[in-house]
Amino acid sequence: MKVIEHLLKAKEPLISFEIIPPKRGGDIKSLLHVVDDLSKYNPPFIDITSHGAEIVYEETPQGIKKKIIRKRPGTLGICALIQNKYNIEAVPHILCKNFTREETEDFLIELNYLGIENVLAIRGDDNGFVKPVPHGRSANEFAVDLVSQVNAMNNGKYLEENLLDAKATDFCVGVSGYPEKHFESPNLKLDIKYAKQKIDAGAHYIVTQMFFDNNVYFDYVNACKEEGIDAPIIPGLKILSLKSHLTNIPRNFYINIPEALAEEVMSAKPEHVLEIGVNWAAKQAEELLNRDVPSLHFYILQNSKPINLLMKKLNLHFKKLVVKK
């Protein structure tokens, strides 16, 4: 079942999650424990991130050295496992960065073989490494180009016109939105125009970057409507659980931490930070669902403890959310 169908047919609040594959050479067992935890909340879908190669810098006795880390594998296998073992729709991320259009088409064909019919099309992080495009191949530069490629396949158009037995795919396509604007956009208005281009190219819904102030989400939705975007816009949430999140979340995701939340975390003992983050997320969830958002999407990565604590506070059996005192 497609994500957009879940959103349009829902008669009660929906909650979905995003996880990340294990590191290269790692063990999938720990991630399966996370999925086991998440499955008890009956999510209609779970996103699985994809990762190209990246450059990291390491401090060594000889000084700082540059090192290329190969891509984190596992997205396809995890998608198949989630969809077939847990009967939850898997939403793999497909990227522009460091993937040719030919590699993207192959990946989409494999997803189609497996009966996976949902994808999230994103450009991908600028991680400092750009893989050369082999001669005779091409690459998608922006997410709108990626959406166009998926939409072309949905219309039976492949990169090779003579591809044997090629049938039209039927992918539901999600894209990212940035309530506090993408860091490369000069302003939010232009960033929303880019979001409109992705919807016009064939995307079915938007899921936002994480935010900690609901007002930026509500303002973003209103601005999108003014631009003519009528696709569902799913709010993305993250439960702040460590003091270090006050610095690394803004640095890595270019978002603001509200003053009240930051002050409470800074003045708390480290062991109390998770409780503060859960309480803040519960208030966000209550307000968002009481404003009839299409769904809530939580960025989990590989740690389900924060969402378990949050879910104990929430009663989602009713259309209007109640926070347990």
Which pLDDT belongs to residue 82? Answer: 93
CA–CA separation, 222 and 244 (whole Å): 32
Return the half-sphere exposure (C-beta side, CA atoms, 13 A cut-off) of residue 75. Answer: 22
CATH of the domain at 111: 3.20.20.220
- Give the per-residue pLDDT at 166: 75
Helix (H, G, I), strand (E, B) or coil at 21: coil
Q: Which of 68, 27, 64 is nearest to 51 (CA)?
A: 68
Residue 283 corresponds to which amino acid?
Answer: K
The structural domain count of the chain equals 1
pLDDT at 99: 84
Q: What was the pLDDT predicted at 127?
A: 55
| pLDDT for the residue numbered 163 | 64
pLDDT of residue 21: 85
**14-42 pLDDT, tens digit each:** 999 999 887 766 667 888 889 999 999 99
- pLDDT recorded at residue 55: 41
| Strands 314-315 and 322-323, bridge-based pairing | antiparallel
Q: Which domain covers residue 116, as residue numbers?
A: 3-323
Q: How does pLDDT run across 45-56, given as a tens digit for each residue?
A: 999 988 654 444
What stretches in the chain show pLDDT beneath 70?
24-27, 51-73, 125-136, 162-164, 315-325
DSSP string, 55-89: EEEEEETTEEEEEEEPP---HHHHHHHHHHHS--E
Q: What pLDDT sits at residue 229? A: 98
pLDDT value of residue 59: 45
> Which has the closest alpha carbon to 291: 249, 321, 252, 258?
321
3-state secondary structure (DSSP) of residue 212: coil
- Res 139: pLDDT: 82
End-to-end CA gap in the chain: 36
The total of other beta-carbon atoms located within 10 Å of residue 109's CB is: 14
